[in-house]
Amino acid sequence: MGKFRRVPVGIVGASGYGGVQLVRLLMDHPEVELVYLGGENSIGRSLGDLYPHLAHTANLPIEAVELETIAHRCEVVFLSLPDGLAWQIAPTLLEKGCKVLDLSADYRFSDLATYTSWYGVERSDRSTAVTAVYGLPELYRDRIAEAQLIGCPGCYPTASLLALSPLLKQGLIVPETAIIDAKSGTSGSGRQAKTNLLLAEADNSIAAYNIGRHRDTPEIEQICSDLAGHELTIQFTPHLVPMVRGILATVYATMRDPGLVRDDLITIFSAFYRNSPWIKVCSSGVYPQTKWANGSNLCYIGVEVDPRTGRVIVVSAIDNLIKGQAGQAIQCLNLMMDWDETLGLPKLGFYP
């Protein structure tokens, strides 16, 4: 006989791009039932009103964010909220027995002083924050499996860290030389109306932004420091490109052993990610494109060595809304519930 019970889950902040990706993926997940959608600006409206393409299959109402109601109905709660809001409700949900996965930056930092410095928010939930686990499964799979609170990584850090992790963990590079050049589609900035995201502004153009001060910088530095075993400062520059989905991160670093060649690095990366079903290391001379990952939870990684400069170049491509956001959160949920890590997640992207 099969199972009769599915795990009830809810989403707070269901009307944004991250929230609607969660809805789509959770509706197809065989072990969960989506029972609650919460928000503040769309209370009383159905999800189909906001996203008509979902009206025939996921036409749940947007409800007020009442923590007692959420905890009574849900075992698992995804918080898909702007930075600075999740920490105000996560402690109560945890106290009431819910598992919580936060897609904002609120629970990504082990040191709240770093969070306050970069996000300008004073916090009073230190005892809760210290229990959070950084939700990058390829690095922290065992910790995630035991956690009640997950701080899901940002999309830029996901692409960047997956490119850097084998190099830092194996001591293959001079850590201080690492440079990340990353490019994102416009959906990474959310659904809010912003001048720089208008078609007339973003199309036929590419632009760097927040140079030297992007909020994902300390998140990347925190995990890189953990991998390297000492505190690191990383140069990270993000760019906006005229596409909807996808992130391409190109990482440069000086190798400790200039005698290593491309195939050596590919072997090392393949071994490092041998138990990671969502990482695909490209064959020699193949470099990934964002379109390959579009609509999937996959991360494609290409590796090259430049013998003239003694540098390694790693290219990482993900869908920012799936592996960089909603899909990765569900990947973490699968680990927390002791389910197969690939359950309910798209294994192939949309192509072309």
- Residues classed as catalytic: 155
What are the structure tokens assigned to 195, written together? 């001048």
DSSP three-state, residue 286: coil
Tell me the three-class secondary structure of 136-203, residue by residue.
Answer: CHHHHHHHHHHCCEEECCCHHHHHHHHHHHHHHHCCCECHHHCEEEEEECHHHHCCCCCHHHCHHHHC
**Amino acid identity, position 111:** D
Distance CA 123, CA 109 (A): 12
How far from the centroid of its chain's Cα atoms is residue 58's Cα?
24
- 305 touches 265 (CB < 8 A): yes
| φ/ψ (deg, to 5) at 162 | -65, -30
Distance CA 189, CA 17 (A): 9
**Amino acid identity, position 208:** A
Peptide bond into 352 cis (omega under 30): yes
Strands 279-281 and 299-306: parallel
Distance CA 330, CA 49 (A): 25
**Residue 134: HSE in the Cβ half-sphere, 13 Å Cα cutoff:** 19
What are the structure tokens assigned to 42, written together? 């769309």
